Chain A
Amino acid sequence: MRYIEPHGHMVSRTTDDYQAMVTAGCVAVCEPAFWAGFDRGSVSGFRDYYRQLTEYEPARAAKFLLPHFSWLCLNPKEAEDLALARDVLALIPEFLDRPNVLGIGEIGLNRNTRNELKVLEDHVALAVRHDQLILVHTPHLEDKLKGTHLILDLLSAHRGVNPDRVIIDHVEEHTIRRVLDRGFWAGITLYPDSKSSPPRAVDMLEICGRERIWLNSACDWGVSDPLAVPKTALEMRRRGHSADFVDAVLYRNPVRFLSQCPKFSVGDGKLN
């Protein structure tokens, strides 16, 4: 089995996780910028983080023969400080030409505030201006439904946004159809206690079809499982889905979306 981990916060993980992922069939990992667990206090903090995502982490992954790609942004949790957000967004273009950068993400909303919306709007404008793919984080728990509506409305109102080039992540049963019906891609995140479980993810695939959907573990420093994606393959096979079905969802779908960025490549997709 081959698969792509399209959303993993590998700076938070140990090298053991890289080894386990590659052993399980991972052929590429993509790392969106996110919250560090605390609010960074300066632009230089973000500059260091972007260097980590574009220099150090790809080198660490390469030791396990795993191609590493990244997305850049300021996380919505840090969007309340508009002055800092403006300065950080001004920094991002310096890094967009780095060989492993796929686009702008994971942008989005956290508590659905006006400041978060303003910073989301600025990120979207930045992505459109630089012809970048977009990866969107939808809010947690009770905020997800409202946040998804706000995000979809904002994206749909922007004339420069092509839904084919945007993935809305962390969808659940109450948001997935809304995302797909508006023409966007949808990401299902597999978490032990929130978002989706492997059985629920397969339910959504059976109900909504497998087109324009990817699965990810979003493994980070919290309770999460870097092998959640291959474990979901087992759930698919148990239910009688074919190896081709598994390959389409876990490998070909993310390749199709990510290949819209010419920098993305996994060679022939064969395991290293």
Chain B
Amino acid sequence: MPKTRSVRSVKRPPATTPAGRVVVDHGFIPVRAKLIEVAAFFDRVERHAAADDFRCAALRAAAVLLVDGKPERARRILEKLSDPTTQPEEKSSGKAALGAWQKPAKK
């Protein structure tokens, strides 16, 4: 007697749209290059013993969001690199923004 196979619903990903194909065709190579730049930057700062710089640590923490399977990666990475405080600064440091937030050292 042939073994019957249970029918399971298979969740298929949505079909790629024509615009989606174009997005990949035009975006893949430049983004591939940027991803390799990120990898090479991580290697470089380790080789030069600068991986502990708070900006490098912030980048590594943000990079985790790239592959967590959740949407809105750009927004969430920008938020992760942002100053989370809400009160105005008492005075300017006189320096430019650095791209990642560092918790002020306790006085």
Residues of chain A whose beta carbon lies under 8 Å from any beta carbon of chain B: 80, 110-117, 139-146, 149-150, 172-174, 199-200, 203, 238-240
Q: How far is the CA of A142 from the CA of B81 in the complex (A)?
A: 6
Where chain B touches its partner, the secondary structure class is: loop
Where chain A touches its partner, the secondary structure class is: helix
Instruction: Render B54-90 as a binary contact track against A, CB cut-off 8 A, 1 for contact.
Output: 0000000000000000001011001101111110111
Using A113-B89, A113-B92 as known contacts, say yes or no to A142 and B74 having CB atoms under 8 A apart: no
User: A115, B91: Cβ atoms under 8 Å?
Assistant: yes
- Most central of B27, B89, B93, B96 by chain A CB within 10 Å: B89
User: B83, A142: Cβ atoms under 8 Å?
Assistant: yes
User: B79, A145: Cβ atoms under 8 Å?
Assistant: yes
**B97 interfacial contact with A, CB 8 Å:** yes
How many interface contacts (CB-CB < 8 Å) are there between A and B?
Answer: 77
Q: What is the interface size of chain B, counting residues whose CB is below 8 A from a CB of the partner?
A: 29
Return A91 CB to nearest CB of chain B, in Å: 23
Using A115-B92, A146-B82, A173-B78 as known contacts, say yes or no to A238 and B97 having CB atoms under 8 A apart: no
User: A146, B85: Cβ atoms under 8 Å?
Assistant: yes
Return B5 CB to nearest CB of chain A, in Å: 41
Return A152 CB to nearest CB of chain B, in Å: 12
Please indicate the chain B residues that have their CB under 8 angstroms from the CB of A142 in the complex.
Answer: 81-83, 97-101
